[in-house]
Amino acid sequence: MVDIKKTSQTGGPNWELLQTEFALSERQIEQFSLYLDFLLKSNEEFNLTAIVQPHEVIAHHFYDSLAVSKFIDLSKMRNICDVGTGGGFPGIPLKILFPEIPMILLEVNKKKIDFLWRTIDLLKLDVIEVCDMDWRTFLRKTDWVIDLFLSRASLHTDELMRVLAPGSHYNYAQLIYWASKDWQMGKKEEPYFDREDSYIVKGKTRRLIFFKRKNIQK
């Protein structure tokens, strides 16, 4: 497992590992740099993150978001939905990495929605939407074709399991959850559990929990 370095030798943003690990182009590094600057400049207004050091943002937000791409092939996804995206994680970093994949950012906070649209415009991202519905309303009232839902600890997993329950329009999809070290699977999650993978960011193990409904096709 890769353990991302704490800082560059100068103590500033360390783009080298991010660029090497994910084969980023110069344009993609430029987009991440713009995103980093705008996130930190806007943080006080929009309350986006408690992490305010550039190298920490790169590690704990950018790398942590992109790491999922090492465990699942995202290149063929018809649509990805980031549930409770907040400041855009993991959706916007993944959109930068895979610009051709349609992306839906699900967020109910009006200030954060404003930030997300400004970021999309700043980075010139295409085929990306911000949806202001809460989770239950989204599941009841939308019918997009979504192959993958991502949740970076935005909702508890027993609430997220609604997407895979019988009767859900999206129960053919997969769900990946960024779990805390203390997360334990409950009875509601167990029927849908597929596997767990892990990686390391700055000495701390990060857990990815994969869920899907068994024996269903679409």
pTM: 0.91
Class of CATH domain 3-212: alpha beta
Among 62, 34, 52, 63, residue whose Cα is nearest residue 121: 34
197 burial class (0-12, 13-18, 19+ CB within 10 angstroms)?
Answer: middle
Sign of the torsion angle spanned by Cα atoms 158, 159, 165, 170: negative
Please name the helix (run of DSSP H) or strand (run of DSSP E) that holds residue 215, with its range, or none.
none
Is it the case that residue 82 has pLDDT exceeding 50? yes
CA-only gyration radius of the chain, Å: 17
Strand partners, 81: 104, 149
pLDDT band at 216 (very low <50, low <70, confident <90, very high): low
Six token digits for residue 63: 């790398």
pLDDT band at 218 (very low <50, low <70, confident <90, very high): very low
- Which amino acid is residue 128, in one-letter code? I
Is it the case that residue 3 has pLDDT exceeding 70? no
On whether the CB atoms of residues 83 and 106 are closer than 8 A, the answer is: yes
How many CB atoms are closer than 10 A to CB 62?
A: 25
Six token digits for residue 66: 């992109």
Six token digits for residue 152: 């970076």
Q: Where are the domains of the chain?
A: 3-212
| 108: DSSP letter | -
**Per residue in 25-71, pLDDT tens?**
999 999 999 999 999 999 988 888 888 889 999 999 999 999 999 99
User: Quick one: pLDDT at residue 6?
Assistant: 41
Instruction: Count the helices and strands in the chain (H runs, E runs).
Output: 8, 8
Q: How far is CA 148 from CA 48, 77, 159, 164, in A?
A: 24, 7, 16, 11
Is it the case that residue 11 has pLDDT exceeding 60? no
Six token digits for residue 175: 């769900």
